[in-house]
Amino acid sequence: MKKTFLLVFAFLSLTTFGQAKVDLTANLNSETAKPKLVVGIVVDQMRYDYLTRFYNRFGEGGFKRLMNEGFNCQNNHFNYIPTYTAPGHASIFTGTTPSMHGIIGNNWYDKDSNEDVYCVSDKDYQSVGATDNSGRMSPHRLKVNTITDQLRLHTQFRSKTIGIAIKDRGAILPAGHTAKAAFWFDGDDEGKWISSTYYLDKLPDWVNKFNQSGKAEAYMKPWNTLYDVKTYTESGSDDNTYEGLFKGETKPVFPHDLPKLRKENKNFEMIKSTAFGNSITTDFAIAAIKGEQLGKGSETDFLTLSFSSTDYVGHMFGVNSVEVEDTYLRLDQDLERFLLLLDTEVGKGNYTVFLTADHGAVDVPAYLRDHKIPAGYFDSSSFKKYLKEFSIRKFEGNQLIKDISNKQVFLDEKLISEKDYDLDDVEEAFAQAILGFPKIAETYTATAMRNTDFSKGVANLLQNGYNQKRSGNVLYTLKSGVIDYTKTGSTHGSGYDYDTHVPLLFYGWGIRQGKTVQKTNITDIAPTIAALLGIEMPDGTTGIPLEFVID
């Protein structure tokens, strides 16, 4: 009797607000209700403070709509090192770290084949839509499945999953092993969106139509600021020594004349390093929603969308540049038109969106030093020479180093065994030698990574990024503000806050409105979406569902 009274009371109360039928039905069918479409957005190289730094310049329908109408996790971090693009995208969609999913970098030294490998390269497949090898890719190096895979499995493959990004790795890794398709942008003289025979034998008609539309050519225009350059007060001066140059430029200032510079800068490849790269990605994502009829079927579909040009712009011009500010103001407009398209095509309230980043970025060290903040540049050439000389001097003339990459040293374990050296002792000797080199912060051996449970600090971040089969024998980190990079532009990869602290916004169906400063991890995203959809979590999940996000 009491339950009946409460139900009637709830119904009458909701009727007052004109929502009774929709809300009551949703509550009664909470176990089977689902959104028509999930969109996972990754903004490449987006620091969290871009949301606050540019907030007053954003419109109401892009970032602000997600922040104010959705749920904002303000203290969201990567919980591993290295903070690169491929591990970032893999971790977001697998709900785990490189220790489990195996994507330890964009490229890495493969101990079995004795060669460097690219995270998604795959000679077993051919390019689709391209005349070169830029489409010979697949997710085969990803050792676990993704939230997108789990959705496909749950629905007996009735759900559609499409991955889109300018970068191949930004499209392929989020889309998982079972995606219907993944598409990425082939620059140079092509200026087309392409794929791999891993997914399909030929491009869909809607992709061919898009490639023939002249969109890429339309964006080969001068890049000027969206507003008067004098109003860009959230950035440094437009003309400074901390920024890189397009080939053919004498100053890193607006406008950047793409038509004039395209020949010297690999033609359509230039689009990637401008704000227009995000715009053409948005155009293509809109075409995909319409062409694939995403959100129109009986099951939930999943679109993974990565905006890569923010990373290219940040690398070239630095996080404090007018170029970065303009790129985010334009991306805000692209987000607004994309969300409006979802409102129209899928229906407002029928889709769920999350937005995050694959890593942050550091201020240009030269800029930091000029403002008396500790920072600098790591001399990798001298470091490699120093270590090789140490090996010869310490180990009877034997060169025990096979490779130095991704801030890891790979040793020749076969030779170490033949010389009857103790591997643990050799690793420790190299770790101590590395610690004595300028600008090194910490070193750890693979033995320590395997045998010690590090629960906090840098050691914990390194352990989460350490994969027993793929990682090196000695891992090292650089001091804060120190990078192994050019003297202009920004980069990333460390465990410092400027690289780990990134946005996490949830919006739409099933999402509560609010915000928190409680610490969340990037690995919590996939299990949260799994809980929202009522499906199994990805098989390697180490994160936890963010219960306070779900309505």
Write the pLDDT tens digit of every residue in 123-159: 999 999 999 999 999 999 999 999 999 999 999 999 9
**Could you tell me the CA-to-CA distances from 424 to 250, 277, 360, 387, 396 in Å, in that order?**
52, 48, 34, 17, 17
* Position 31 confidence tier, pLDDT thresholds 50, 70, 90: low
Write the pLDDT tens digit of every residue in 218-240: 999 999 999 999 999 999 999 99
Whether the CB-CB separation of 496 and 131 falls below 8 Å is answered with no
Task: Give the fold, CATH level 3, of 379-438+440-478.
Answer: Gyrase A; domain 2 (3.30.1360)
**Could you tell me the CA-to-CA distances from 125 to 103, 211, 319 in Å, in that order?**
20, 22, 37
pLDDT at site 20: 33
SS3 state at 341: helix
- Beta pairing partners, 445: 474
| 16: pLDDT strictly greater than 50 | no
What are the start-end ranges of the H helices in 228-268? 258-261
pLDDT at site 28: 33
Task: Give the residue-averaged pLDDT of 169-175.
Answer: 98
**Helix then strand then coil, % of the chain, to nearest 5:** 40, 20, 40
pLDDT at site 415: 97
Q: What is the DSSP string of 201-221?
A: SS--HHHHHHHTTTHHHHT-S
d(CA 393, CA 377): 27
Q: Is there a cis peptide before residue 222, judged by omega within 30 degrees of 0?
A: no
pLDDT at site 272: 98
| 11: pLDDT strictly greater than 80 | no
Q: What is the DSSP string of 8-66?
A: HHHHHHHHHTT-HHHHHHHHHTTTT---SEEEEEEETT--THHHHHSGGGS-TTTHHHH
Write the pLDDT tens digit of every residue in 197-207: 999 999 999 99
d(CA 522, CA 502): 9
CA proximity to 36, closest of 293, 253, 213: 293
Distance from first CA to last CA of the chain, Å, rounded?
27
Is residue 304 among the annotated active site residues?
no
R_g of the chain computed on alpha carbons: 24
pLDDT at site 13: 40
Name the amino acid, one letter, at 218: A
Summary mean pLDDT of the chain: 94
* Position 93 confidence tier, pLDDT thresholds 50, 70, 90: very high
Cα–Cα–Cα angle for 180, 181, 184, nearest 5°?
Answer: 165
Cα–Cα–Cα angle for 511, 139, 202, nearest 5°?
Answer: 100
Tokens of 541: 């999940």
Tokens of 199: 């997914």
Domain 37-369+495-549 annotated CATH 3.40.50.720: no
Active-site residue (options: 4, 15, 83, 85): 85
Task: Give the residue-averaged pLDDT of 248-262.
Answer: 97
* Nearby residues of 205 by Cβ (< 8 Å), 6 or more positions away: 291
Whether the CB-CB separation of 292 and 206 falls below 8 Å is answered with yes
d(CA 477, CA 441): 5
Task: Give the residue-averaged pLDDT of 457-461.
Answer: 97
Q: What is the DSSP string of 67-114?
A: HHHSEEEEEEE--SS---HHHHHHHHHHSS-HHHH---SSEEEETTTT
- By CB neighbour count within 10 A (0-12 exposed, 13-18 middle, 19+ buried), where does 445 fall? buried
Write the pLDDT tens digit of every residue in 434-449: 999 999 999 999 999 9
Q: What is the DSSP string of 352-403?
A: EEEEE-S---PPPHHHHHHTT---EE--HHHHHHHHHHHHHHHTTT---EEE
pLDDT at site 30: 53
| CA contacts within 13 A on the Cβ side of 360 | 27
Helix 276-291 / helix 322-342 crossing angle, nearest 10 deg: 10
> Structural domain boundaries of the chain?
37-369+495-549, 379-438+440-478
Beta strands in 173-251 (DSSP E): 181-186, 192-196
pLDDT at site 23: 40
pLDDT at site 32: 59
CA proximity to 538, closest of 203, 39, 174: 174
Tokens of 250: 């004498």
pTM score, two decimals?
A: 0.93
Determine which helix (DSSP H) or strand (DSSP E) holds 147, and give its type and residue range: helix 147-154
| 26: pLDDT strictly greater than 50 | no
Task: Give the residue-averaged pLDDT of 473-477.
Answer: 98
Whether the CB-CB separation of 163 and 175 falls below 8 Å is answered with yes
* Nearby residues of 250 by Cβ (< 8 Å), 6 or more positions away: none
Whether the CB-CB separation of 93 and 148 falls below 8 Å is answered with yes
Task: Give the residue-averaged pLDDT of 357-366.
Answer: 98
- Total Cβ atoms within 10 A of residue 286: 18
Write the pLDDT tens digit of every residue in 492-537: 999 999 999 999 999 999 999 999 999 999 999 999 999 999 999 9
Task: Give the residue-averaged pLDDT of 105-118.
Answer: 97
d(CA 317, CA 328): 13
pLDDT at site 359: 98
